[in-house]
Structures are given as structure tokens and as C-alpha cells.
Structure 1
């Protein structure tokens, strides 16, 4: 499991002072990028080789609001991995209380936007998948 800290800034909130719903997607995107970096996966080098990860699907649950100045943690785990597809479980929590959860499907695509197999060296960088998103 990878953990990524996020602080809620004023710009992240709406008129009610709670995190605007779309900003959770930004938080989990940042966490995925840092997770890949921590695994030693260089996305700039991938792009230079004509490969990128794109989000194909997100299933999201908004459980409880985060507010200005909250210190949040985004947890990211690999759930399933195929030849060109990665499914991740991501959760945002504050002091252990779950606020948001998502199941995110990523696909590796080439410059033409077509799904392609992950190169073996890249595939070997990923940890073992977990059985269930919980």
C-alpha cells in the first residue's frame, strides 16, 4: 500500500467550505503519480517511448466531506493487473476516517491511443495485487 499526504487548501473547497467533489480525482491522480514514481516507473521516459497510462473508468464513492486545512491521506493499492490494464483501489481518509473511495481502471496506450501490453520490465515493477478493494 502506498500512502500520499494531501493538505486541503482554500482553492480546493466550494462555497460551503468543503472539498469540491472533482478535487478528489485530482488528489488520487497525484497519489497514483507518486506511487508510480516510488515504484521506479519514469512516466516521462514512458512517454518518450510512446506509452502512457490513461484512465478508462472510475467508480467513486463520496462518503464524508473534507474541509479546508484538513490533513488527508490517499492510500493506493494495486487490485488487479492484466497485460495492458491496471485496476487500483484508492481511498482518501482523515485520521483514519474514510471520506472517499474509488476503483480506478488504467490502460497503457501507445501514441495512437490504442491499448498495448505493458513491457515486461515495466510489469515487473508492480507489487502483487490485493484480492479485494475494501
Structure 2
């Protein structure tokens, strides 16, 4: 099931044409990912403090489909696609009602404080696993 995060477009999000500036979609989906991680019960501040690990975006593949405009009410959806011991892949979308405006496939990895790649913590992998029925 997709995590949903509401966002409203403010004047500061738009460009001279009055539409959302392309780079701001990346900010929107970052907020959606942060809330998705929080909703799973992962405390990123504690993860950094206790394990010395942080999430980092490794790859983003984005498609801009339709423009959002000032005062639009949007929903950022986040769906887990895959998880390995070293990365998380998710699909994200920015929606205006039923209309899809933007999509992205995002790959996250864990890094140490020195920037070295690290395995995902076991607790995070457990929280990402689908519930057993």
C-alpha cells in the first residue's frame, strides 16, 4: 500500500511561467520519502547517532508528465519496489487528484559518516518486510 503525503504548491515553488519549477518536484518527493520512513518507525536521527548511518539517494530516474500550478493540492505517493541488504528502491509519484504529474524511481543506500557504503540495518530491513499472513 502506498504512503501518501499531502503538499500544497506555494508561490515560492513556481517559476516565471507560474508552474512548479522542475527541481522542486525532487524536494516534494524527498519530503514524501522522509515521512514514509518516519511512518515505518525508523528514527533517522537515532540511526545516525547510534549506528553512524544515514540514507543517501544513489539514483533518481524522473519523468515530468504535467505541470502543477500555484495553490494546487498535491499528494506524494511512495511505494516500496525492492529492498536488498544494501539498498531500497521505491516508486514515487506526485498526483493532483487522479492526475499523475510526476513519477520517479529512487534508489537509496546507507552511508557511514565518512561516506562509505554500508548494509541497511537489520531493524530497517525488518520494518520494510511485508507482514506475514
Under a length normalisation based on structure 2, what TM-score does the superposition of the two structures give? Answer: 0.94
Q: 1:123 aligns with which of 122, 125, 130?
A: 125
Q: Which consecutive unaligned segments of at least 5 residues does structure 1 have? A: 129-134
Aligned to 1:131: none
Aligned equivalents of 2:37, 2:67: Cα separation in 1:
27
- Indicate whether 1:3 and 2:23 are aligned: no
Larger fraction in helix: 2
Aligned equivalents of 1:82, 1:22: Cα separation in 2:
28
> Matches of residues 7-86 of structure 1 in structure 2 within 5 Å?
7-48=8-49, 49-86=51-88
Report the RMSD for the aligned CA atoms in angstroms. 0.8
Runs of 4+ in 1 over 3 A off after TM superposition: none
Q: Which consecutive unaligned segments of at least 5 residues does structure 2 have? A: none
The SS at the match of 1:124 is: helix
CA contact (8 A) 2:109 2:120 kept: no
CA contact (8 A) 1:78 1:127 kept: no
Under a length normalisation based on structure 1, what TM-score does the superposition of the two structures give? Answer: 0.93
- Indicate whether 1:101 and 2:92 are aligned: no
